[in-house]
Each structure stands twice: as structure tokens, then as C-alpha cells.
Amino acid sequence: MDNQSTPTSTGPVIGIILAERIFAGLIVDHQLQGELHTYPPGAAPMDPDDDHALVELPTDSLIHALCDLVVSLAQGHEKDLAAVGIALPGMIRGGVVEEAPNLPQLKGAKIGELITAGLIKNGIAAPVTVLNDADAVAAGLASSHGKLDRLIRVWTLGTGIGYGRYPFAEGVWEGGHSVVSLDDKERYCGCGGVGHLEGIMGHRAMRLRFLDLEPEEVFAIANTRNGERSADPRCNDFKKLWHKSLAAVTASSIHMDGPGKFFLTGFNVRFVDMNLLHDCLHGMVKMSPLQSYSIEIVAEDQTTRVIGAAVAAEQVSRR
């Protein structure tokens, strides 16, 4: 298990999350100051009309919007702003977006350099850190649960499947693309890969698999309790596959990185049957020194993500 001392804040930090829209906040001592800022401005937290607003923005416009948010939040703190953390879905290395299926216009963009240059023009010289959004979730949960000295892992269950880890470790960490099936027919992952976790658990993949049922209907049918299997056995079988897949990647992480705390979050945690998940894991993790793991479901919270982006940026700025 990785251990490090609990960090103390050195000054205000700005955390930003890019998802279907942008959420940003000023963080002081790991707490949000004031309200979250959003882009598009005034977007309701769950308004589907805004879900594709960022995908439609060209890279230059998106960079401009991010810089404007930082400038707005940094008012009065331009000189003492300690860092800026920007978290987005995709493969991020060295401040460069190497892959971003949900924001394809950012592929290859040197986000770190572009934001840094834009902020300097506005008199802000704070270092900029770019990270995967699932890692920001892990850092935010570590902070909110007082576990900044512990190993924290998180699965985000949504349109895709994200894997976050705190403390941050070098690597690709595309856990949603872990192979959990050797069936050549399992080709529902958005990347085109065979047998991937996201191809089973991702919301998009579930809709492709069940063209006649929404994911909510699949699990509602599977959860029908009348003493017998449901009228549609596909749903029962898929519910088991869904949970076995999550158990498999969690067990693999335990065997590679040791036991510890796992969080589950995202809008599809509503489908998790904890008893079934634990039963599956019990059959996969048999070495007694590795059985001290725990799993907790937490509600999706953009504030936690924003704080996590800030915590990660603050720690990088100290290295």
C-alpha cells in the first residue's frame, strides 16, 4: 500500500472538471469556497439539453472557456493562487490528451501548455496540472473521507467506466478497458476492443446490447422477485455477468495492488447489488492477507470531483 503524509494547503487552488459540461471551484484547505461555476453558464446540474455542449465546441473555444473560468474564480487571488487542476475523461500524460473518446476534439491537444499560456496573458502564473477525471474522483474521496495517507481506488459507472487511483501513480490506468471476457462476441466497447469491462458495464454498451430494452428496464426485470426466473432470462444472465465483471476487475486490482478501500460512484451505481457483488468477489479473492478490502457506494458529486482535481494539482505543485 502506498502511504504519504497528509498534505496541508499552501494557498487557494482552482479545480475544474470536464464532463458533459464544465464544473469549477475555488478550493481553500480542501474545501469549496462559494458556489461551483458551470459552463455553459447557468446549466442545470442534470439538464440533458446541455449534455453535448462541450463535444460541439472546437478546441480553441474550449480552452478560452476554461481560461475565463479560472480568471473569474481567481479574482483577488491572482498572485497567491497555488495551482490549477483540470480533470477530464481520457488518457492524459504529461499534460497532453493522448486519447479522449468523449471529447474527441481534444485528442492530441497540449492542454497544459495551452491553459498555462492563456492564464499568463491574464496575469496568472499558477502551475497547471491535467489529469484523468476518475483520478480526481479518487483524490476528492480521499480528501473528504480523511484518507489522504491511504490507497483509494474508485470505479465510476456511467456512459463509460472509469478507474481512479489515489495517490496518483504513473501509468495509463484505463481500467474500464480491462479484459473480463474471452468471448469474441463481446464487442460493445466504444473503443472497439473485445471483452472489455466497458463493453459490458458501460451505459452506451448496455443500450447496444439490448436494443429493445433500456438499462433501467433490464435490471428492473432481473430484480423481479416472484420465486422464479424472470420472463426474459437474458436480463437475469446479464445482471450476473455485469456483477461478475465488476468483481473480476476489483479482484485483479486487489491481487496487483493489495486490499484497501474501493468506492463505486456514477449514475449507474443504482444497478449495484452489493450482496451479489460481494458473493462474486468472495469466490475470486481467496488469499487471507488480501481479504481486508471494503467497498462503498457514494453518490455522484461534482464538488468532490472539483476538490479532487485541486488536491491533485496542489500535490504536483509541491514536487
Which residue is it, cell 464544465?
A: 22
- 147-297: CATH, from 3.30.420.40, 3.10.20.30, 3.40.50.2000, 3.30.70.940: 3.30.420.40
Q: Which three cell numbers stand for residue 187?
A: 464487442
pLDDT at 295 > cutoff 60:
yes
- The answer as to CATH 3.30.420.40 being correct for domain 13-138+302-318 is yes
Q: What is the pLDDT of residues 203-245, one digit of tens each?
A: 999 999 999 999 999 999 998 765 455 568 899 999 999 999 9
Mean pLDDT of 15-35: 93
Average pLDDT over residues 45-57: 59
The string of pLDDT tens digits covering residues 172-186 is: 888 999 999 999 999
* pTM for the model: 0.85
pLDDT of residue 318: 82
The fraction of the chain above a pLDDT of 70, given in percent, is: 91
Residue 51 has a pLDDT of 53
Angle at 312 between CA 311 and CA 314, to 5 degrees: 65
| pLDDT for res 49 | 44
The residue count of the chain comes to 319
**DSSP H helical ranges for 224-273:** 233-257
CB 185 within 8 A of CB 214: no
For the record, the C-alpha cell of 242 comes out as: 455485469
Q: How far is CA 155 from CA 25, 158, 160, in A?
A: 23, 10, 10
Task: For residues 294-303, give the mean pLDDT.
Answer: 93
Parallel, antiparallel or unpaired: strands 128-132 and 83-88: parallel
Same fold, 13-138+302-318 and 147-297: yes
The domains of the chain are located at 13-138+302-318, 147-297
The region of weakest confidence among 7-11, 91-95, 265-269 is 7-11
Q: Which residue has the higher pLDDT, 52 or 250?
A: 250
Residue 310 pLDDT grade (very low, low, confident, very high; cuts 50, 70, 90): very high
- Best-predicted range by mean pLDDT among 13-22, 44-53, 101-110, 249-258? 249-258
Mean pLDDT of 3-29: 80
